[in-house]
Chain A
Amino acid sequence: MSNSILVVGGGFSGLTAAVEAAEMGYDVYLVEKESYMGGRVAQLNKYFPKLCPPTCGLEINFKRLKTNPRITFYNLAEVESVSGSAGNFNVTLKVNPRGTTPQCTSCKAGEEAATTEVPNEFNFGLDTRKAIYKAHPMAYPNQCVLDKDAAPADEISAIASAMPAGHVVPDQEAETVQLNVGAIIMATGWKPYDPANMDNLCFNSFENVVTNMMVERMASPSGPTEGKVVRPSDKELPKTVGFVQCAGSRDQNHLPYCSYICCMATLKQVTYIRENNPDADIYIFYIDIRSPGRKYENFYKKIKADEKVHFIKGKVAEIKAGSAPGSVVLVAEDTIGGGKIEQEVDLAVLATGMQPTGAHDQIPGIEYDDDGFVVEKDGITPCGCAKRPVDVVSSAQSATAAALRAVQTVRRAG
């Protein structure tokens, strides 16, 4: 039997669940597969509807995390299997090597020595990074990462010698860790739905068709385009932007449910584009604008007041090449005005939905539903977007509730 709690996933929900449970006096293990904590929200520029930076709340939670001796956390770690039952789970973790030591917090010398550039996954391939890097400037833990598969062996050695002695350890090996815990919180979050699955939207054919998550990275001051939402083809600010809502969501062939956040995310991204360019025309193709509740409705109202934001009720059926270089045409059925609409835009943004991580990556010993959401079982509590598509506020509620479930489980078992 164990009194400790395992939280799988160090995104916003997992981080919240971990600190909330630890502040109840329990030992918590937090396992995150990326090199940094914060998950999806770490990639966001601002939160709707306050337009405040996600790193502000993360900074508080990181401080709660690092000052709480009850929390042990692992990055670059995966849960390989779960067995046992409430009060007594056996969990196997694989902790992948970071290739550096804890005091290695500045990659500068190594970056200068490195020559190979690889696509930067944190920025969805919109720019590149080196073999030694931090995912982003606010990354926590702030320890550098050596990706030794990203460059030839001699370059890795050159990086190691350029860095202070002992900071880079290329031959670190993965470790297996066995944990015995009383309760498990599943906070494995979501992935953006793969836009390549929608043939009609031609994501892979046109450079100037991007996803909403790519827009978040572009809008971020530390992103690939220094805060400007540009056309990838020529790095110019677009004069016309089209948002394609429900790109994959509410669609039997893709994600049958509503992804909850994409309408609000688009309304938020309108403010990014407006900040870059006061004259840009913005076209939003939607089925319903889902801005429920007082705060969200007020935010929608603010955006509606912008005369250069055009709302068109109609689902985009097709994206095709436009007449101007790099432009694309959004083709939709206008369900109010009738007829077919063709709107040429400089940049098209697919408001892709969220797919639970469990749709692709499942952990043996955990139960999932048809959509890939985690099913609650005695001692195993899902929260946040592992449970259902939710916004950040609801993730915080859900994670706090999951912390209580875990506490109840270990108290009952104890």
Chain B
Amino acid sequence: MSKKIGLYIYTGDGIKDAVDVDKLVELATGDLGCAVVKTSDDLYSAEGAAMVKADIDSEELNAVALAGVSPRYDFPGFSFPGVYVEKTSLRELVVWSHQIPADAEDADAQKEHVQELAEDYIRMAVTRCQKAELPEPNKMEDANTKILVIGGGVSGMSAALEAAEAGHEVTIVEREAQLGGFAARLRKQIPVGPDYSNMVDPIANELIEKVNANDKITVRTGTEVARLAGVPGAFRVSFKAAGSKSEWDAPVPLTDEEKLDENGNELSAEEQKAKYDAKNEGRHDYMEEDPNAEIHGAVVLASGWKPYQPADDEFPHLAWGNAAVVTNVQFEEMAKAGNITKPDGSPAKNVAFVMSPGGAEDDADFPYASATTSLVALKQAKYVREDYPEDGKAYIFYQHMRTPGQYEYFYKGLQDDPGIFLTKGAVTEVTPGDNGLTVKVEKTILGEDIEVDVDLVVLATGMVPTTKDEAVVNFAYRQGPAFRDLDLMGGYCDSNFICFPYETRRTGVYAAGGVRRSLTIEESLEDAAGAALKAMQCLVAAQEGHAVHPRTWDFDYPDFYFQRCTQCKRCTEECPFGALDDDEKGTPKPNPTRCRRCGTCMGACPERIIGFKDYNIDVVGSMIKSIEVPDDDDDKLRMVCFACENDAYPALDMAAARGASWSPLVRVIPVRCLGSVNVSWIKDAMSSGMDGALLLGCKYGDDYQCHFMKGSELANARMANVAESLNSLGMEPERVKLAQVAIDDYDKVADIINDFVEEVVGMGPNPFKGW
């Protein structure tokens, strides 16, 4: 669509003093062909908004560029439905970040730089207005609203009840023959609300009754998910009997190692296919549709945890292997079944609870332990006192008693019991003897080493998430049946985001309870409600046609120009969310409701056939090409800087607001994520004579901060290839650089830019300048 563009230049906050605004107006009305160009000292006022609105109506503008304050700021009245609005920052990126000292000898030259900078930002903004289109929502009005809950423990049942209470149909699929999970096998449980001082009866049975009585909830026990195919709003779920094999089991792709022959060379496509087929014999292709699959809209994963089972030779110093040394789960089973006894069936009146296995060397709790493990030991000590109120003795040896929040009251409640002995200490040895087991404890709170004879030793072992060793959900996705990068989280299906714990890397699937974190029952109930909300919410997003978190405001969706696809598979492999499937040839199959709109596929595509309406190869490429590059002035080198719009860009804003200055040779282009930066943009920059490109993105590695997980890491890998190409052209590879910048690095970002500019200036101009 041809554009009729209005450009509005804000001249307040020092802009009109630093920049020749008349020249900007001249540029916009002349070369750039804007239909309306106006300036205002108070553009962002109600009057300013009214002025723009009046022009839109009278001049029939369909695009508006606002040049002034940072696009991160918005103002009432500046929403113009149906009109493309582009905002560019003259205040932060031009004026504030390029302060010219009054006594500078080269003030005129500096002023010229600033003027050119302002002009380039105007060019880029107008170019974007010309090239970008308004997104149209991709609405999935018939999205199925039934929720699948995987796991019938307290988290799963609770999620199901919560979703049903909000009006949704729900299916619970539970592997065991009955609902309830671990919580149904407890003798007593830790309180789930005030009063926190005493144990309560297990709530699992009450939940089971509620679930069974709820006509919106279908329960399938003894059942597993063989495969989950499709998309949020229309997941196709194939069920199977628990533990059985099914032709609809999700196929497992070859690992990187399996793709190699014995000499470490990559197998041919045909060989890989044969190996893949052999590996998945008897299973349908992941793209094949199970005619009997049941449709669900979204999934709550509440498959819970498994008890940490020590290996036979683990913890020899704690006499693991001796029949009188048990885990907390084994102890709970015993306590639930009847009285607490020794292996020979006689009463076990003296029981020691060991919280930390590391002896004198290490004060860490058992693997996968947590506050829950501390609380469970306290609770189980009370069982000893319940069974043997006269002479039962429970000893709790801990390094750190972890009873956070109001659970402290539960801990306090125990401290008055004369039969419960609590001490910090390092359990160094458990030795079997004539009188049962002798527990040796060093560095106790009593200031001495002690030895205690007991009938049973209970190890406070941890809770291992079910996703650690199994795929559980069994996605029939191009990227395979399991979540990715679970190793980073110790097998937990966790988001790695402190702010957004419900994010998983599979849209429409939200984890709750012990599968994500070791939680108490009380915490699991709350967690289940949160996960249920996220599942319901992703259906609202599908219906309304916008992305789910983090780009919830985004109604756009990437378009693929398939005629030019070469089936290179980069987009399908690099998508952080597994949004893209493919056909037999490898042509990608988009799944809009799985997509988070990060643009990683666009950045990956060597054929440049993937793009969004308002953010694509042509839009950004044209912006780069619109930058005026002097071809014979060594003082006016030009560099482009791609900055992550959520973190690096705000850091630049803050740096400017705080008075930092950086080189006027750099033009900043905000990007959704560095993962969306296509190498063609670097080529565009270099072939239009620019001298370098800087990418500012989030930290990567184990503690990655990228909200699309891999963006800056992928960009870094791609830039290594760009560096190679530059090298082969005889150009310095250092002309392209990626730096990791956090949003609060506003005190560092100017130096990062200036160091880069200095380096490029040292290399001299791009040798292909002016070609």
Contact = CB atoms under 8 A, between A and B. Distances in A.
Contact of A393 (B367, B447, B501, B698): B501
Interface residues of B, number: 94
B131 interface: no
Given A57-B498, A398-B526, A23 B541 contact: yes
Contacts of A336: 424, 443-445, 447
B400 interface: yes
Interface stretch (A97-105, A152-160, A229-237): A97-105
Contacts of A165: 42
Nearest to B409: A257
B574 to A, nearest CB: 22
A46 B531 CA distance: 26
Interface stretch (A178-186, A197-205, A288-296): A288-296
A60 B647 CA distance: 9
Contacts of A50: 496, 498, 703, 705
A3 to B, nearest CB: 14
Interface string A247-283: 0001000001111100000000000000000000000
A258 B405 contact: yes
Nearest to A313: B424
Interface residues of A, number: 85
B612 interface: no
B74 interface: yes
Given A166-B45, A221-B747, A338-B447, A257 B405 contact: yes
Interface string A49-85: 0111111111111011011100000000000000000
A369 B528 CA distance: 25
Interface stretch (A123-131, A324-332, A341-349, A402-410): A402-410
B449 to A, nearest CB: 11
B405 A388 contact: yes
A2 interface: no
Contacts of B530: 396-401, 403-404
A403 B746 CA distance: 34
A377 interface: no
Contact of B742 (A56, A138, A222): A56
Nearest to A137: B654
A96 B530 CA distance: 33
A411 interface: yes
Contact of B409 (A106, A256, A397, A405): A256
B647 A294 contact: no
Given A57-B497, A408-B165, A166 B73 contact: no
B527 A66 contact: no
Contact of A61 (B43, B499, B703): B499
A224 interface: no
A367 B723 CA distance: 63
A119 interface: no
B303 interface: no
Interface string A130-164: 00000001100010000000000000000000001
Nearest to B543: A25
B529 A401 contact: yes
Contact of A258 (B165, B404, B500): B404
Given A400-B530, A404-B529, A394 B650 contact: no
Given A164-B42, A220-B744, A20 B533 contact: yes
B400 A291 contact: yes
B374 to A, nearest CB: 7
Given A23-B552, A294-B492, A336-B447, A257 B744 contact: no
A103 B654 contact: no
A297 B364 contact: yes
A103 B48 contact: yes
B129 to A, nearest CB: 20
A170 interface: no
A16 B550 CA distance: 12
B654 A142 contact: no
Nearest to A249: B408
Given A222-B746, A297-B364, A257 B406 contact: yes
B743 A59 contact: yes
Contacts of A412: 165
A259 to B, nearest CB: 8
A220 B744 CA distance: 8
A53 B403 CA distance: 27
Interface in B82-132: 91
Interface string B521-549: 00100111111111011001100100001
Report which residue of A220, A369, A392, A394 has the largest number of chain B beta carbons within 10 angstroms of its beta carbon: A394
A404 B408 contact: no
B69 interface: yes
Contacts of B365: 292, 297
Contacts of B591: none
A406 to B, nearest CB: 10
A403 B535 CA distance: 13
Report which residue of B403, B404, B502, B646 has the largest number of chain A beta carbons within 10 angstroms of its beta carbon: B404
B764 interface: no
Contacts of A257: 405-406, 408-409
A206 interface: no
B323 interface: no
B752 interface: no
Contacts of B492: 294
Interface string A296-321: 01001100000000000100000000
B23 interface: no
Interface in B670-687: none
Contact of A102 (B44, B445, B490): B44
B133 interface: no
B743 A260 contact: no
Interface in B431-468: 443-445, 447
A227 to B, nearest CB: 7
Interface in A344-402: 369, 371, 388-390, 392-394, 396-401
Contacts of A53: 742-744
B518 interface: yes
A288 B194 contact: no
Contacts of A390: 405
A64 B552 contact: yes
Given A52-B703, A164-B41, A397-B527, A292 B404 contact: yes
A222 B745 CA distance: 10
A290 B498 contact: no
Nearest to B398: A288
B731 interface: no
A226 B658 CA distance: 12
A19 B499 CA distance: 13
Given A55-B650, A103-B45, A289-B400, A294 B518 contact: yes
A103 B44 CA distance: 5
Contacts of B91: 106
A196 interface: no
B321 interface: no
B721 to A, nearest CB: 28
A408 B367 CA distance: 38
Interface in B464-504: 490, 492, 496-502
A45 B745 CA distance: 11
10 contacts: A20-B534, A23-B552, A24-B537, A138-B654, A221-B745, A288-B424, A290-B371, A292-B402, A293-B517, A297-B369
Given A61-B499, A258-B405, A288-B401, 14 more contacts: A50-B496, A60-B500, A138-B650, A226-B747, A250-B408, A257-B405, A257-B406, A257-B409, A259-B405, A292-B372, A335-B424, A393-B501, A407-B533, A407-B536
A-B pairs, 6 with minimum CB distance: A57-B499, A400-B530, A67-B553, A401-B529, A103-B44, A404-B533
Interface of B: 12-13, 41-45, 48, 69, 72-76, 91, 162, 165-167, 194, 363-365, 367-372, 374, 398, 400-409, 412, 424, 443-445, 447, 490, 492, 496-502, 517-518, 523, 526-534, 536-537, 540-541, 544, 549-550, 552-553, 646-647, 650, 654, 657-658, 698-699, 703, 705, 707, 742-747
